[in-house]
Structure 1
Amino acid sequence: MKQVNIMGIPFACVQHKALIKLLDEHIMRNEKSFVITANPEIVMQAHDDSDYMSHLHRANYITADGIGIVRASQLLNNPLPERVTGFDLMIDLLEIANIKGYKIFLLGTYEDALTRVIENIRHNYPNIEIVGVHDGYFAMDDLSVSKKVKEADPDLTFVGLGVPKQERWISQNIDYFDKGIFLCVGGSLDVIAGDVKRAPVSWQKYNVEWLYRLLSQPKRWRRMTSLPRFVVQIIKKRLKRTS
């Protein structure tokens, strides 16, 4: 698959529907795959932390979760086709799992929220088998968590531990597993639980979902400072290429 390098990160040049089909094929062949959906915050964190960058490079697919990544690829004259977000991937994979009876594992958020996630998934996707859950409050070296996941033998593991823990955890444990899709989903579990609202479709349409999140969760402002830093770096690279 063609890749687009943005500040050292190889983004998969793939559309949402095509990736869903690929991941479903991996499941049917009992293969494993590590999927990251990266935004400018993740790019800048990897830019500042070489160890984190090495974990990202272990992924099979890194997609553009954010219009900033797509715009950057266009500025660098190597455009990505579209955004491919973690939440949208999770929802479509849940729909496929419901049709095919796939087994899933939920890793992340806190216990009360997980209870609501389970209830909502069972209500909306009754044919899915939830083979295990674990909250996100554990030490990175706690081997009992990866053991629990392996014993559950899921087809899909949704990892919502937040950045950078979720990428590090999958990277450090992926060799332990024999099969399954491991997808970083950030705060998507909290959205399914009903604790966090996703931006309205109109905000998504105009690519200002990030602004909606900032207005609804003002404490995110520190994380948002990575966006202007990212823009500056992309402009520098653009100017360097044109000169």
Structure 2
Amino acid sequence: MKRIELFGSPADVATMNETVEWIARRIEARQFTQHVVVNVAKLVNAQTDGQLAESVRACDIVNIDGMGVVWAARALGFDVAERVAGVDLFGSLLGLAAQRVFPVFLLGAKPEIVAEVAKRSAESYPGLRIAGAHHGYFWDDERAVVEQIRESGARLLFVAITSPKKENFINRWRDELGVDFVMGVGGTFDVVAGKVKRAPQWVQRAGMEWLFRVLQEPGRMWKRYLVTNSKFAGMLAKAWFQKQFFSSARPS
């Protein structure tokens, strides 16, 4: 996979199939893999949050999630074929885990949500082994949860906690988790459990999935997206003009 730099953050240019195949090879080889996706909000927040930026940089694979980031990368001259959405990758990796008998651990969300995700996942992917599950409210004793994950025998760990908590948790404990692959999946558990609806395909392709989310949870989401989208537009405009200036300034 080709690694590029976007607004100071690494990003790997890969399709969904390439990503799954690459992860599968590393799991088979028992090669630890720390995964993250970058979207508009994460790229914006990483500009001022050094710990988040460091956690992203520590990852072995950084997928581009969100059409806004795809379009920005293309505008800056990078050949990005498609987005690799975290929620879609989660489903693909559950299918892989079921097929190759890789136990998985589900961490995050409310107790009833993670329990529903475990139930639906086992139903949707016959043969999937759920090694364990735990809600996301454990900050008074992180080590106990880490020990539970390590002792479960899980090969894949999915962490459904808000950013930047999940990235920093994963990076902080990566050497003690005992898994071969770990991925932060954000709000994916809410989607899988049916609490939040996924935007239709045409909305996703139009890059308006964020607006669909705002319409479902306006009180919580409108300010977040208004601020981060506006800042990202400014970051992109600055980077684009700098690229044009330096391109025109080069001697022919």
- TM-score normalised according to structure 2 size: 0.92
Deviation at 1:40, TM superposition (A): 0.8
1:137-170 per-residue CA deviation (whole Å, 9 max, x = no partner) reads: 1217621111111111211111101111110111
Residue 78 (str. 1) matches residue 78 (str. 2): yes
Provide the residue aligned with 1:221 in structure 2. 222
- Match for residue 53 of structure 1? 53
User: Which of 1 and 2 has greater Rg?
Assistant: 2
Provide the residue aligned with 2:155 in structure 1.
155
Amino acid at match of 2:54: S
Following the alignment from structure 1 to structure 2, what is the Cα–Cα distance between the partners of residues 60 and 118? 26
Structure 2, gaps ≥5 residues long:
246-252
State the percentage of identical aligned residues: 29
Q: Is the 8 A contact 1:106 1:159 kept in 2?
A: yes
Q: How many residues align?
A: 243
Unpaired runs of at least 5, structure 1: none
Given that 1:40 and 1:226 are in contact with CA atoms closer than 8 Å, whether structure 2 keeps it comes out as yes
Amino acid aligned to 2:149:
V
Amino acid at match of 1:106: L
1:203 to 2:206 alignment: no
**1:116 shift after superposition:** 1.1
C-alpha deviations, 1:44-87, integer Å up to 9, x for none?
11101112211111111111110111111111112322101110
Superposition RMSD on alpha carbons, in Å?
1.3
- Give the whole-Å Cα distance in 2 for the aligned partners of 1:172 and 1:165: 10
Is the 1:4–1:73 contact (alpha carbons within 8 Å) kept by the matching residues of 2? no
Q: 1:215 to 1:50 in 2, by over 3 A?
A: same
SS of the equivalent of 2:91 reads helix
SS at structure 2 position matched to 1:227 = helix
Partner of 1:236: 238
Paired residue secondary structure (1:35): strand
Partner SS for 2:175: helix
1:75–1:238 contact (8 Å) kept in structure 2: yes
**Distance apart, 1:109 and its partner CA:** 0.3
Separation in 1 of the partners of 2:136 and 2:38? 20
Q: Distance in 1 between matches of 2:151 and 2:35?
A: 21
Q: Which runs of 4+ in 1 moved over 3 A?
A: none
Which structure ranks higher in relative contact order (CA pairs < 8 Å, sequence separation ≥ 6)? 1
